[in-house]
């Protein structure tokens, strides 16, 4: 599985831990940065991960910032991305099963390295449930394609 990963300065340390653990577990990881913990802007790092996932160059994405929320907002601007912030394993499982989320966003203020790895592993190994949820995810994709004048 190919994983795209990035962070901002607040998520740099946690991103580095996750990246190394993913590599150690045999995942193919593309790190979109940053290379250090100097102040930076999270949209600059969310965008390349989101584009890689949307284009199919990565199977899933992991983004880390202070709360996980800013990264999710930025990543969700890219068509085909379903980025979800989570602070619990239950949220991770449900967003994969029900929403077919393809990017997990984590808040370094709220999860430690062990929790983040547990949630990441769950994110990578939980399948989309399909069924009634597939209809809903398809409606999201239609919203991305419809011109704003045609949206309800």
Reading the block at residue 122, the tokens are 């769950």
Q: Summarize pLDDT for 14-53 with one digit per residue, the tens.
A: 999 999 999 999 999 999 999 999 999 999 999 999 999 9
pLDDT at 150: 59
CB 70 within 8 A of CB 40: no
- pTM, whole model, 2 decimals? 0.94
pLDDT at residue 147, rounded to an integer: 66
Q: Domain 2-150 class?
A: alpha beta
Q: Summarize pLDDT for 89-109 with one digit per residue, the tens.
A: 999 999 999 999 999 999 999
Give the pLDDT confidence of 71-85 residue by residue, as tens digits: 999 999 999 999 999
Between helices 89-99 and 132-145, what is the axis angle to 10°? Answer: 80
Strand partners, 104: 62, 84
Catalytic site positions: 65, 98
């Amino acid at each position: 599985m190919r994983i795209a990963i990035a962070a901002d300065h607040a998520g740099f340390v946690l991103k580095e831990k996750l990246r190394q653990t993913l590599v150690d577990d045999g995942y193919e990881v593309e790190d979109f940065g940053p290379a250090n913990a100097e102040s930076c802007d999270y949209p600059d790092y969310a965008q390349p991960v989101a584009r890689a996932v949307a284009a199919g160059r990565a199977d899933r994405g992991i983004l880390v910032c202070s709360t996980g929320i800013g990264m999710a907002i930025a990543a969700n601007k890219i068509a085909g991305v379903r980025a979800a912030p989570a602070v619990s394993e239950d949220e991770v499982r449900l967003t994969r099963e029900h929403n077919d989320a393809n990017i997990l966003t984590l808040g370094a203020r709220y999860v430690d390295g062990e929790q983040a790895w547990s949630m990441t592993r769950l994110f990578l190994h939980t399948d989309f449930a399909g069924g009634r949820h597939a209809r809903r995810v398809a409606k999201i994709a239609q919203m991305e394609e419809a011109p704003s004048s045609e949206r309800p």
